[in-house]
């Protein structure tokens, strides 16, 4: 069992928030600043969560780990790995700079997401400094503690606009007994058709990506089920490192100078009629697109999804524009938790 008393700087963070309240000073919340390319520019005094770090509690038999927001994500993942466990949502570490709080605030998940769930699905509880200058606790460290309004999960993907996340409790799971990655020669249309077919069958697929030339699959589970799936699919065995390189944006695809867009779409969506290089992830539900086209947001909406620009400064609205009714709910929630508009003002939308 791991527990840490050192590294608790919650009072320091709370003092900085209360000084900002008194002076009406906006705050730019950041940890490792590994996701600064996401969202709009934020002007404000930096609130650095990395002073508040450390694993608070981890007993592998409980399948729950609690860590402070400034804890390097790689530290948390290393502790899990040593116990034969993992965060199934596979969040990127971006060369080791990501923090636990930033992971939750951004809500980014890796190649396993369609089969295992998102970051939000593994958040059991959290602590948050609100714009009222109070240090709140939501949820807990047990898997059934979801009664009432689940604000902890609402923080996932909020990009610091609702408050300062100080602590998070996460559900974890054992690592699979066996893993194998394979490469299959087929074009994008064939791959999407096959993935739609396989998605209706009990197969041990945990990642599926097409880079324009071939389809790559990761198979995870018991040795028998993985072996049987490999015999059925055939294909060349490849190194599992491909998935880490995809997740961390280290593939050659991401080096192209054109702006990078991420589209979240229904898994049955066919190839996109847009200029630029495309990479299919999440079995078709996530598309990476390198393009200077200006019609990405409308296209994503037309296809029943949404788009995010991953290249800083390219778009005035990097996140998918909200419908008026949805924007109203966002503004009401922001007003409740951050009435003075101190936290990451405008990071997601000008109105927030």
Summarised one tens digit per residue, pLDDT across range 183-220 is 999 999 999 999 999 999 999 999 999 999 999 999 99
Q: Do 130 and 197 have their domain in common?
A: no
Task: Determine the average pLDDT of the residues in 282-292.
Answer: 96
Which one of 137, 158, 174 terminates a domain? 174
Q: Do 162 and 199 have their domain in common?
A: no
Residue 314 lies in a domain: no
pLDDT per residue as tens digits for the range 298-307: 999 999 999 9
- CA dist 246 and 98 (Å) reads 16
- CA dist 220 and 239 (Å) reads 14
Q: Do 250 and 102 have their domain in common?
A: no
What tokens were used for 161?
């606009």
What tokens were used for 258?
């054109």
Neighbours of 250 (CB within 10 A): 15
Look up residue 343 and give its DSSP letter. B
Q: Do 213 and 146 have their domain in common?
A: no
Residue 316 lies in a domain: no
In terms of Cα–Cα distance, which of 83, 78, 82, 85 is closest to 100? 78
Q: Which SS3 state, helix, strand or coil, does residue 83 take?
A: coil
Per-position DSSP letters for 99-134, written without gaps between them: BHHHHHHHT---TTHHHH--GGGGEEEEEEE-TTS-
**Mean pLDDT, all residues of the chain:** 94
Residue 329 lies in a domain: no
pLDDT value at position 146? 44
Q: Do 261 and 288 have their domain in common?
A: yes
What tokens were used for 157?
């993907």
Strand pairing class (45-48; 27-30): parallel
Q: Do 166 and 200 have their domain in common?
A: no
Full residue range of the structural domain in which residue 49 is found: 2-174
Q: Do 258 and 144 have their domain in common?
A: no
The larger pLDDT score, comparing residue 127 to residue 152, is at 127
pLDDT value at position 148? 47
Asked whether the CA dihedral 168, 169, 174, 180 is positive or negative, the reply is: negative
Check which CATH number belongs to the domain holding 159 and give it.
3.30.465.10
What tokens were used for 57?
């509690």
Residue 351 lies in a domain: no
Domain count across the chain:
2
Q: Do 159 and 259 have their domain in common?
A: no
Looking at the DSSP assignment, which residues form a beta bridge with residue 286? 264, 281
Residues 6+ apart with CB under 8 A from 322: 330, 349
Q: Do 200 and 137 have their domain in common?
A: no
Q: Do 282 and 150 have their domain in common?
A: no
The backbone region for 83, taken as left when phi is positive above 0, alpha when psi lies in -120 to 50, beta otherwise, is alpha
Q: Do 21 and 114 have their domain in common?
A: yes
pLDDT value at position 143? 44
- CA dist 92 and 252 (Å) reads 17
Specify the residue for token string 């994008």.
188
Residue 157 lies in a domain: yes
Residue 336 lies in a domain: no
- CA dist 163 and 41 (Å) reads 17
Strand pairing class (286-290; 277-281): antiparallel
Which one of 124, 146, 174 terminates a domain? 174
pLDDT value at position 147? 44
Asked whether the CA dihedral 201, 205, 209, 212 is positive or negative, the reply is: negative
Residue 321 lies in a domain: no
- CA dist 331 and 269 (Å) reads 32
Residue 42 lies in a domain: yes
Which one of 158, 174, 190 terminates a domain? 174
pLDDT value at position 189? 95
State the pLDDT confidence band at 144, using cuts at 50, 70 and 90.
very low
Q: Do 47 and 161 have their domain in common?
A: yes
């Amino acid at each position: 069992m791991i527990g840490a008393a050192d590294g608790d700087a919650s009072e320091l963070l709370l003092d900085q928030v209360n000084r900002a309240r008194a002076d009406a000073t906006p705050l730019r919340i950041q940890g490792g600043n590994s996701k600064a390319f996401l969202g709009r520019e934020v002007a404000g005094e930096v609130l650095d969560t990395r002073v508040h770090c450390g694993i608070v509690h981890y007993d592998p038999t409980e399948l729950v780990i609690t860590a402070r927001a400034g804890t390097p994500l790689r530290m948390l993942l290393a502790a899990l790995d040593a116990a034969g466990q993992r965060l199934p949502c596979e969040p990127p570490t971006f060369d080791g700079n990501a923090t636990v709080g930033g992971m939750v605030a951004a809500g980014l998940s890796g190649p396993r997401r369609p089969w295992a769930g998102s970051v939000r699905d593994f958040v059991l509880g959290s602590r948050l400094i609100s714009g009222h200058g109070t240090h709140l606790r939501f949820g807990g460290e047990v898997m059934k503690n979801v009664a009432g309004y689940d604000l902890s999960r609402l923080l996932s993907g909020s990009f610091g606009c609702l408050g300062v996340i100080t602590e998070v409790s996460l559900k974890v799971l054992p690592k699979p007994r066996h893993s194998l990655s394979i490469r299959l020669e087929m074009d994008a249309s064939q791959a999407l058709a096959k993935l739609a077919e396989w998605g209706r069958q009990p197969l041990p697929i945990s990642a599926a990506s097409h880079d324009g030339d071939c389809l790559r699959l990761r198979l995870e589970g018991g040795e028998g089920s993985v072996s049987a799936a490999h015999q059925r699919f055939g294909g060349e065995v490849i190194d599992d490192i491909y998935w880490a390189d995809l997740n961390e944006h280290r593939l050659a695809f991401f080096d192209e100078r054109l702006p990078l867009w991420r589209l979240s779409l229904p898994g049955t969506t066919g190839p996109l009629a847009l200029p630029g290089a495309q990479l299919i992830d999440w079995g078709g539900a996530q598309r990476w697109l390198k393009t200077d086209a200006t019609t990405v947001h409308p296209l994503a909406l037309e296809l029943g999804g949404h788009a995010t620009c991953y290249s800083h400064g390219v778009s005035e609205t990097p996140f998918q524009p909200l419908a008026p009714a949805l924007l109203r709910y966002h503004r009401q929630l922001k007003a409740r938790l951050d009435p003075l508009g101190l936290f990451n003002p405008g990071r997601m939308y000008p109105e927030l």
